[in-house]
């Protein structure tokens, strides 16, 4: 529904609604509909300059000479919007951070933190990580265990290997995305064939076909850059293999029974061992340091040499306290995949640890799980939890539910105390100043009211709320 709302709001030019959906509901503003159109395309087509400006500033993709860029340029009818599109540079750093996993993998490739292998191609050096290449490509996994075994510097001298094409292949392996000049497509296809990347080649061919059809049907268009968009599910699944391999053997259930499983033949080259309740998790500094400032400080800034793993003397062991191995497994899977399976029973424990480990994305996942459990009995408790852990979406869900049952809530002493505390939390509050929680409840009661019966019901709810405020001497 949020995605539908985003497209509808862009067609109407409702900037405030789009801003709310993007910033508070975490809707992907580069999502596509069944006509392969993006929200930016409709904003350009309908001529909403302010909305176009906001979408571009928030990370809508519109690079020149790409399919999306040229399509938006073709759609817009106003010169002012055309100028905005022409001045577009690239996706902002802020927008890239909206998708934590893709942003992290992009920076991991770009900066090469904790890399353990380098490729030298015609004078150009590419830093990489064996664990990522092995998880994403069986070809690289095989080469690291055979021809390239034990090598930290791999020199590729073949004259047909184009460094730019190799860099594009690396970009795809790490992020699932690729941006490359049209003239290098054949070089990429040749390298992908050598690396046995069948699915990549199919995706590349499909994108080329779509691009050529678009240019053929739009005379005068010139597309010079081909872009492959990431398929996040596949990327997550292959990064999950690293988490699978990090599990202690005692905790592995059923993996060996799967015919397509690579667990026994898939070395991941771990460089850190986390010991939790006596279990050893063989992990990678690149992921833990890159995804969490807590682990970065723990492993880089304050970590001194301690115990070494007996089976791998080069791997240090660090013991984590005050966390169960079940909760750590959820933390680990989130760090590698941006996702984890949460239940009502464990979500609060995971939320507390996510807050300690500075994993804001995991906190949001916990908030989504808690939002699905909202009921009359727990809505006030969950609202307090949302406030405590700064989960704005969960807080919004709770307030929306409060608005639905406000006539029941006004009879509860706990709700009365919450209203008083919220009013008292405002510094230098005057008698007629607003109370944030009351304002939000009023908004949800009155919002989207259309029929006479709905208006009457909303008035009854507002009257019940006003009676409560009068009874506790709060005028707002």
* pLDDT tens by residue, 343-384: 999 999 999 999 999 998 899 999 999 999 999 999 999 999
Reading phi first (left if > 0) and then psi (alpha if -120 to 50, else beta), residue 27 is in beta
Q: DSSP secondary-structure letter at 308? A: B
Measured distance CA(215)–CA(200) in Å, rounded: 22
Q: Which residues contact 166 (CB under 8 A, 6 or more apart)?
A: 119, 121, 126, 156, 191
Residue 263 has pLDDT above 50, yes or no: no
Ramachandran angles phi, psi of 3, nearest 5°: -65, -45
Which string of DSSP letters, residue by residue, matches 414-461?
Answer: HHHHHHHHHHHTSTT--TT---HHHHHHHHHHHTT--SHHHHHHHHHH
Q: What is the mean pLDDT of residues 100-119?
A: 88
CA of 369: how far to CAs of 341, 362, 363, 393, in Å?
A: 9, 11, 10, 11
What pLDDT shows up at residue 335?
A: 95
Least confident of 39-43, 165-169, 196-200, 470-474: 470-474
Q: Which residues contact 143 (CB under 8 A, 6 or more apart)?
A: none
Three-state DSSP state, 365? helix
Q: Could you tell me what percent of the chain has a pLDDT over 90?
A: 33
Measured distance CA(470)–CA(473) in Å, rounded: 5
In the chain, count H helices and then E strands: 25, 8
Angle at 322 between CA 368 and CA 389, to 5 degrees: 30
Q: Kindly indicate the confidence band of residue 94, based on its pLDDT and cuts at 50, 70 and 90.
A: very low
Question: Which residue shows structure tokens 């199919």?
Answer: 202
Question: Which residue shows structure tokens 């302010």?
Answer: 50
Strands 279-283 and 272-276: antiparallel
Q: Which residues contact 316 (CB under 8 A, 6 or more apart)?
A: 272, 273, 303, 305, 306, 307, 308, 309
Q: What is the mean pLDDT of residues 296-322?
A: 76
What pLDDT shows up at residue 66?
A: 67
What pLDDT shows up at residue 102?
A: 80
Q: What is the mean pLDDT of residues 121-144?
A: 92
Q: What is the mean pLDDT of residues 297-302?
A: 78
Measured distance CA(45)–CA(71) in Å, rounded: 10
Residue 99 has pLDDT above 60, yes or no: no
Q: Are 28 and 57 in contact (CB under 8 A)?
A: no
Q: Are 62 and 74 in contact (CB under 8 A)?
A: no
Of residues 302 and 61, more confidence is placed in: 61
- Alpha carbon dihedral 149, 306, 331, 294, in 10-degree steps, equals -110
Which string of DSSP letters, residue by residue, matches 77-96?
Answer: --HHHHHHHHH-----HHHH
Q: Which residues contact 124 (CB under 8 A, 6 or more apart)?
A: 163, 167
Residue 438 has pLDDT above 90, yes or no: no
**Residue 456, number of CB atoms within 10 A of its CB:** 10
Three-state DSSP state, 195? coil
Q: Are 353 and 341 in contact (CB under 8 A)?
A: no
Measured distance CA(312)–CA(314) in Å, rounded: 6
């Amino acid at each position: 529904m949020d995605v539908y709302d985003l497209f509808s709001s862009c067609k109407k030019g409702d900037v405030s609604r789009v801003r709310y959906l993007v910033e508070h509901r975490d809707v992907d503003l580069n999502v596509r509909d069944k006509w392969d159109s993006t929200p930016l395309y409709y904003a350009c087509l309908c001529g909403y300059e302010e909305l176009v400006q906001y979408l571009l500033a928030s990370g809508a993709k519109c690079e020149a000479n790409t399919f999306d860029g040229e399509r938006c340029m073709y759609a817009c009818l106003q010169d002012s919007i055309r100028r905005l599109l022409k001045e577009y540079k690239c996706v902002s750093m802020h927008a890239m951070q909206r998708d934590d996993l893709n942003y992290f993998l992009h920076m991991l490739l770009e900066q090469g933190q904790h890399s353990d292998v380098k490729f030298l191609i015609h004078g150009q050096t590419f830093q990489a990580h064996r664990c990522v290449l092995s998880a994403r490509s069986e070809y690289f996994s095989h080469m690291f265990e055979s021809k390239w075994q034990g090598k930290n510097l791999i020199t590729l001298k073949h004259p047909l290997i184009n460094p730019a094409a190799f860099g594009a292949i690396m970009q795809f392996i790490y992020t699932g995305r690729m941006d490359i000049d049209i003239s290098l497509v054949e070089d990429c296809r040749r390298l992908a064939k050598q690396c046995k990347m069948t699915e990549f080649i199919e995706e590349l061919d499909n994108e080329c076909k779509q691009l050529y059809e678009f240019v053929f049907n739009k005379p005068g268009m010139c597309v010079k850059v081909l872009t492959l968009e990431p398929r996040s599910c596949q990327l997550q699944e292959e990064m999950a293999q690293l988490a699978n391999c990090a599990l202690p053997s005692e905790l592995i259930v059923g993996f060996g029974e799967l015919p397509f499983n690579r667990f026994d033949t898939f070395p991941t080259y771990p460089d850190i061992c986390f010991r939790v309740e006596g279990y050893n998790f063989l992990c990678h500094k690149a992921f833990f340091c890159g995804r969490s400032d807590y682990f970065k400080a723990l492993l880089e800034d304050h970590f001194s040499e301690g115990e070494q793993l007996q089976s791998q003397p080069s791997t240090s062991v660090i013991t984590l306290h005050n966390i169960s191995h079940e909760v750590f497994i959820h933390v680990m899977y989130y760090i590698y995949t941006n996702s984890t399976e949460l239940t009502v029973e464990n979500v609060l424990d995971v939320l507390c640890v996510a807050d300690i480990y500075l994993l804001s994305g995991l906190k949001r996942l916990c908030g989504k799980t808690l939002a699905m459990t909202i009921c009359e009995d727990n809505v006030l408790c969950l609202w307090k939890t949302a406030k405590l852990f700064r989960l704005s979406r969960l807080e919004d869900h709770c307030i929306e539910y409060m608005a639905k049952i406000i006539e029941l809530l006004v009879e509860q002493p706990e709700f009365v105390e919450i209203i008083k505390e919220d009013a008292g939390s405002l510094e230098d509050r005057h008698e007629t100043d607003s109370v944030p929680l009351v304002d939000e409840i009023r908004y949800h009661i009155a919002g989207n009211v259309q029929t006479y019966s709905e208006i009457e019901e909303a008035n009854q709810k507002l009257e019940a709320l006003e009676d409560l405020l009068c009874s506790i001497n709060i005028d707002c």
